[in-house]
Amino acid sequence: MPALLAEDRTVLRLGGADARKFLQDLVTNDVSTLAEGPVYAAILSPQGKYLFDFFLVDDGETVLLDVVADRAPDLAKRLALYRLRADVTVEETSLRVALIWGEAPIPGAVPDPRHPALGARLYAEAPAIGDLQAGARADYDALRVTHLVPETGVELQPDATYILEAGFDRLHGVDFRKGCYVGQEVTARMHHKTELKKGLVRVAVEGPAPPPGTEVTADGRAAGTLFTTADGTGLAHLRFDRATGEMQAGAATLRRL
């Protein structure tokens, strides 16, 4: 089974009597289900734009919060801003995150709630992955591309991305029945539209793949942005009305899959 030590992740711990209610009022998903398994969720701006995404994991009386490391300090500040007088503590742990994908279960690991193909996540001071097949970030990114899963700071851009355009409903990252949270009104309005006009899609990439963030054009007009590429395919955020035929990104030719 392939395994990868995710050096780019930080694990925070939320404690205090009000921690779960605090999260329930703030994040896009239903925290009341934590006892049944990990929850993928986001915090949005009041205008409904993505700010942070993370995994919430039940840890007895506390909740672990697994977030990309370079966003952890800003997330901790955001949590402190909303905490007010609630009995909530936020601290950084020394836990590390291992990503494990494949068929067999790993003791202590929890399933990635976004998609079964992404396997499991293991939280430990020193994850025991030495006996597993060493995976590479490129292997994991190829899985993401195959299953249309965005990554923090790549396809998910703070203060720019709308989570429904990034597929959070398909990735079990938003609950439309849980009630209010920051940015909920905008998200609900988008959900009830008959059709989104833009979104994240898989594309075939022919020719040399350009770096993430390269503009996509169609007939000379801006059509979106190409992000992660792997094995002749990629993830692109596109305007659907312009993504109807061949497109260009750098020296590569794209078509929607």
The residues, ordered by sequence, that sit 6+ positions from 188 with a Cβ below 8 Å of its Cβ are 176
| Residue 126, pLDDT score | 82
Residue 132 has pLDDT above 90, yes or no: no
List the structure tokens of 125.
Answer: 């001071």
Which strands form 120-124's sheet, in the order they lie side by side? 110-111, 120-124, 96-100, 2-5, 133-134
CA torsion 110-111-117-123 (nearest 10°) is: -30
Strands (E), 78-220: 89-92, 96-100, 110-111, 120-124, 133-134, 198-206, 214-218
| The pLDDT of residue 81 is above 80 | yes
Residue 106 has pLDDT above 90, yes or no: no
Is the separation of the CB atoms in 14 and 41 below 8 Å?
no
Tokens of 5: 């030590």
| pLDDT digit string, tens, across residues 65-77 | 999 999 999 999 9
pLDDT on residue 130: 65
CB 121 within 8 A of CB 100: yes
Highest mean pLDDT among 94-103, 119-128, 133-142, 229-238: 229-238
236 — phi, psi (to 5°)? Answer: -135, 140
> Which residue did the predictor score with more confidence, 134 or 31?
31
Contact 193, 212 (CB under 8 A): no
The one-character DSSP state at 3 is E
One-letter-per-residue 3-state SS of 36-97? HCCEEEEEECCCCCEEEEEEEEEECCEEEEEEEHHHHHHHHHHHHHHHCCCCCEEEECCCEE
- pLDDT value, residue 104: 63
Alpha helices per DSSP H over 121-256: 137-146, 184-191
- Return mean pLDDT, the chain: 95
Q: Structure tokens of 49?
A: 């734009």
pLDDT tens digits, one per residue of 149-180? 999 999 999 999 999 999 999 999 999 999 89
> In the prediction, which pLDDT does 248 show?
98
Q: Which residues of 88-112 are buried (b: 16+ CB within 10 A; e: fewer)?
A: bebeebebbbbbbbeeeebeebbeb
Q: How far apart are CA 225 and CA 208, in angstroms?
A: 16
Confirm whether pTM is higher than 0.85.
yes
